[in-house]
Chain A
Amino acid sequence: MLSIKNLSAAISDKEILLGITLDFEPGKTYVVLGPNGSGKSTLAATIMGRPDIAVTDASELAWNGENLKALSADKRARLGIFLSFQSPLPIPGVSVEELLRCALDGEKDLVALHKELRGFAKEIGLDEEFLSRSIHDGFSGGERKKVEAIQAAALAPSLAIFDEIDTGTDTDAVKRIAEFLSAHLPQEATKIFITHSPKLIELLRPDSVVILKEGRVVAEGGRDLAVKTIKEGFEGIK
């Protein structure tokens, strides 16, 4: 379980998260909503351990009882934590398959991984050529997000965070990505989706919805909260 208590965080001395307390349980799907600048992406990056985010001493961040604050991002990844960026970065000279081969060295048979990735590409509707091209280099928005989904499926994380996996994708691609992730992320994994997309929320059928505003949790609830918020906006939520 991911346990967050009184989490406050800043980037370049600007306070962005202000005393967030949340629990995320295994096997459940969460949606995080909030207006632009509410701290959603910072929350995701803080959980993953982005080095330039300063977390206060009073903040508590634990994954299955282990203090994440003491661990760098690579060590958090080794515990099974994964983050998909809102704007995935191109990495010239490094292919998707090459990166995953390095990441899964000793954990997965390389031939099996090669076959698995091609199966994933076919299923999500991506030409397998993208697996051997430099990551995200010249990819469209939809292609980038499909590659992010494939990376997540291959890594099989126990905590998967997707920061606007729907951004830059058309309706059909959103559906395909949502169905792909539902099929391939481990059942027991905790899944957190940051999104503004009613379509994605409808497809994900989240167990719980969290609303952030100005760095604070202002509401928690079920799917109905997401529907109401998207319909009425964030202004009425204090």
Chain B
Amino acid sequence: MEQITADVDDKTHFKIMIFGLVPFRNIKFEIRNFFGLDELYRLSTLRTL
């Protein structure tokens, strides 16, 4: 299955941490789950450790 890697940049990563959250970095998604860039970004940003 083809994959796409989502990441947040350092500034966004820091911004999200200010909310007490820790975004994953470099999450690999399978293309079949890809619903658009915004959705990918949302999933990447709000998935926390």
In the complex, the answer to whether B19 meets A89 with C-beta atoms within 8 Å is no
Residues B18 and A73 in contact, CB atoms below 8 Å apart: yes
Answer whether A91 and B41 are a contact pair too, CB < 8 Å, given A50-B14, A52-B10. Answer: yes
CB-nearest residue of chain B relative to A88? B15
- Report B's interface with A, CB cutoff 8 A: 10-22, 37-42, 45-46, 48
**Are A82's CB and B14's CB within 8 A?**
no
Q: Which residue of A lies closest to B22 (CB)?
A: A74
- Chain A interface size band reads 20 to 34
Chain B's interface: helix, strand, loop or mixed, by majority? helix
Residues of chain A within 8 A of B15, CB atoms compared:
85, 89, 91
Cβ-defined contact, A77 with B12, below 8 A: no
Complex CA gap A92/B40 in Å reads: 10
Partner among B10, B11, B38, B46 whose Cβ is within 8 Å of the Cβ of A92: B38
A203 shortest CB reach to chain B, Å: 24
Q: Other than the known A73-B18, A103-B20, what 16 A-B pairs have Cβ atoms closer than 8 Å?
A: A50-B14, A51-B10, A72-B17, A74-B18, A74-B21, A77-B20, A89-B11, A89-B15, A91-B45, A92-B41, A93-B37, A93-B38, A94-B42, A94-B46, A100-B19, A134-B38
